Amino acid sequence: MAEGPSSAATDLRLRRNRSVAFVIAFLIFVFDQATKWVVTYPLSLMAQPDRAIKITSFFDLRWVENRGVSLGLLSAGSEMGRWLLVGMTALIASLVAFWLWREKSRDDSTALALILGGAIGNIVDRVRYGYVVDFADLHIGEWRPFLVFNVADAAITIGVLLLLVRALLMRDGKAKKKEV
Q: Does 153 qualify as catalytic in the annotation?
A: yes
Contact criterion met (CB below 8 Å) for 64 and 53: no
Structural domain count of the chain: 1
Contact criterion met (CB below 8 Å) for 71 and 95: no
**4 within domain boundaries:** no
34-to-41, 49, 144 alpha-carbon distances in Å: 10, 23, 25
Q: Does 108 qualify as catalytic in the annotation?
A: no
* Model pLDDT for residues 21-60, shown as the tens digit of each residue: 999 999 999 999 999 999 999 999 999 999 999 999 999 9
Cα separation of 104 and 163, whole Å? 14
* Model pLDDT for residues 54-112, shown as the tens digit of each residue: 999 999 999 999 998 765 566 777 889 899 999 999 999 999 999 999 999 999 999 99
Cα separation of 130 and 61, whole Å? 21
**161 within domain boundaries:** yes
Q: What is the mean pLDDT of residues 103-125?
A: 97
Which candidate in 32, 125, 137, 153 is catalytic? 153
**176 within domain boundaries:** no
Model-level pTM?
Answer: 0.88
